[in-house]
Amino acid sequence: MPKTRACEAWELLFDLLMRQRTRLPQVAAEFELSEPQCHVLRLMEPGAGVPMRRLVERLGCDASNVTGIVDRLEARLLVERTACAHDRRVRMVRLTPRGVETRARIVARMNEPPEPIAGLPADDLAALCSILRRALTTSGR
């Protein structure tokens, strides 16, 4: 069965992503965090609390694992837990000022493009961005 262009494109994109998979562990290590802790900080928006159950959904792991991740972030004074104003059974996680600053630095590091992307000509980068935006818009339907 011949390979379609869509299969080829996906295979190439997947290969590029897999070649960059060491980035998250490297960045996490720079901040003396685990990969899941780094990921939780990236998922959170400054000024907005996140219910613990939403973190469980976004991470796709057991609630006890998320509790442990948040415990360690809280011990580092990067997040704080509070009761939800309208339902005290719901625990909210919020970035502390230190967490906001750490998150900004993590996001900045993770957003640095790897050389295979950074080295592309400007026209190719514009085309790639346009294509990926369209693919993401289409996937949201």
Domains of the chain and CATH, by start: 20-110 (1.10.10.10)
3 state SS of 96: coil
pLDDT at residue 140, as a whole number: 60
Mean pLDDT by 10-residue block, N- to C-terminus, for the chain (141 residues)?
Answer: 83 90 91 94 91 90 92 96 80 94 96 92 95 84 54
pLDDT at residue 78, as a whole number: 97
pLDDT at residue 86, as a whole number: 80
Instruction: Return d(Cα 69, Cα 56) in angstroms, integer.
Output: 11
Nearest Cα to 50, choosing from 97, 95, 98? 95
Three-state secondary structure readout of 8-24: HHHHHHHHHHHHCCCHH
State both tokens at 121: 């000509």
Ranges of beta strands (E only) in the chain are 50-51, 79-83, 91-95
